[in-house]
């Protein structure tokens, strides 16, 4: 029997905000490379994660949630997600089983009606709903002629993820191994460090603050003693937001820095010295030149 050809390809994870796309990618990879929070629109850029199986390599693209864009930043995020559909061999359409499904059904009907790549519907958060709701949702989405397969799963617990991988691997064409076996992402370390800092801001601040911050790592240097010195700037839109991020006597900024430093040290397997600064750039989320400066272009 002839050897089976090596298969590889690119697969986008698409869905509404807070459907669990980043949690699913981290679960598949077995490592946290994408930031998560309970707030929608946490992911802003497309993020590539690399999953290796015997005879296969899958390059997953985690996308920002598709939502109604109200600022230049929001439009950038939606454009990132939509661009992924033109560049991949397959799509996972992730649906939140615990949320209202009307907008998710309409999104599925709207996005996947042409001659695009094959689509797998993944019904996420099944650990939060009963079996009757799962069956009802599968029946409703089954009426849409868009999907190659239907997989109930829980990205939080891992239940159903192995079956999803079987379905995804069936979509891959013969192709090369794009990345070595030991690489989980092609993202640079300074980008991941900035995202970890932004995640702490998402988790520790409220209301409009998480959506008004950008984080840029301005310096990332390894010293002779092995210590990695990182200097990062947190940008907000208003003076009042700067005061909130810094906190009383600098306590909140110190907490953000401490939690981020610990996670960056785990990522880099090295001691880290982290400096954080906060500045104000008025209405940066609607300023094309500032969006480009912060990496949203």
pLDDT of residue 1: 38
- Length of the chain in terms of residues written: 297
One domain for residues 242 and 143? no
183 in any annotated domain = no
258 in any annotated domain = yes
Domain total for the chain?
A: 2
How much is the pTM?
Answer: 0.79
H helix runs in the chain, sequence order: 21-29, 72-84, 102-111, 131-142, 161-169, 189-204, 239-246, 251-268, 288-293
- Provide the CA 85 distance to its chain's centre, in angstroms: 16
One domain for residues 84 and 25? yes
Residue 271 token pair: 């001691």
Residue 92 token pair: 């996972």
One domain for residues 151 and 205? no
- Which of 155, 159, 9, 162 minimizes the C-alpha distance to 94? 155
Domain finish residue from 169, 197, 224: 169
184 in any annotated domain = no
Which residues are bridge partners to 99 per DSSP?
Answer: none
One domain for residues 49 and 142? yes
Domain finish residue from 109, 139, 169: 169
Burial class (CB in 10 A: 0-12, 13-18, 19+), 222: exposed
Domain finish residue from 169, 204, 222: 169
Give the domain range for residue 12.
Answer: 7-169
One domain for residues 151 and 18? yes
The CATH number that applies at residue 32 is 3.40.50.300
One domain for residues 234 and 152? no
One domain for residues 155 and 66? yes
176 in any annotated domain = no
178 in any annotated domain = no
75 in any annotated domain = yes
pLDDT of residue 67: 47
218 in any annotated domain = yes
CA angle (271, 276, 281) in 5-degree steps = 150
pLDDT of residue 242: 95
One domain for residues 12 and 128? yes
174 in any annotated domain = no
List Cβ neighbours of 252 (8 Å cut-off, separation of 6 or more): 204, 205, 244, 245, 246
Q: How far apart are the first and last CA of the chain?
A: 49
One domain for residues 44 and 149? yes
The CATH number that applies at residue 206 is 3.30.300.20
pLDDT in tens, the chain (297 residues): 357 899 999 998 988 888 898 899 999 999 887 766 665 555 556 678 999 988 999 999 887 655 455 567 666 665 666 666 677 899 999 999 998 777 777 777 777 776 778 999 999 999 999 999 999 999 988 887 778 999 999 999 999 999 999 999 999 999 999 999 888 888 889 989 998 999 999 899 888 888 889 999 999 999 989 899 999 999 999 999 999 999 999 999 999 999 999 999 998 999 999 999 999 999 888 888 888 888 776
Q: How far apart are the C-alpha atoms of 82 and 76, rounded to whole Å? A: 10
């Amino acid at each position: 029997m002839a050897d089976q050809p090596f298969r590889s390809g690119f697969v986008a994870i698409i869905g509404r905000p807070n459907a669990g796309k980043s949690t699913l990618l981290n679960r598949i990879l077995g490592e946290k490379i994408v930031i998560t929070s309970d707030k929608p629109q946490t992911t802003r850029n497309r993020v590539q994660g690399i999953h290796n199986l015997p005879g296969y390599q899958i390059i997953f693209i985690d996308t920002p949630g598709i939502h109604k864009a109200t600022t230049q930043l929001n439009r950038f995020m939606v454009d990132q997600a939509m661009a992924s559909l033109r560049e991949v061999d397959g799509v996972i359409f992730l649906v939140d089983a615990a949320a209202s499904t009307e907008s998710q059904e309409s999104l599925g009907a709207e996005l996947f009606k042409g001659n695009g790549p094959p689509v797998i519907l993944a019904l996420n958060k099944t650990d939060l709903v009963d079996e009757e709701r799962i069956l009802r949702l599968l029946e409703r989405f089954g009426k849409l002629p868009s999907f190659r397969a239907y997989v109930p799963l829980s990205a939080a617990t891992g239940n159903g993820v192995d079956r999803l991988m079987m379905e995804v691997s069936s979509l891959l064409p013969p192709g090369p191994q794009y990345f070595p076996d030991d690489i989980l992402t092609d993202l640079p370390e300074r980008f991941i460090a900035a995202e970890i800092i932004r995640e702490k801001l998402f988790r520790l601040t409220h209301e409009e603050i998480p959506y008004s911050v950008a984080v840029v790592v301005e310096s990332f240097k390894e010293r002779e003693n092995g210590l990695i010195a990182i200097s990062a700037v947190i940008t907000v839109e208003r003076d009042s937001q700067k005061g909130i991020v810094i906190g009383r006597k600098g306590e909140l900024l110190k907490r953000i820095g401490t939690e981020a430093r610990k996670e960056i040290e785990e990522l880099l397997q090295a001691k880290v010295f982290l400096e954080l600064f906060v500045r104000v750039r008025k209405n940066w989320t609607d300023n094309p030149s500032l969006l480009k400066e912060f990496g949203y272009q």
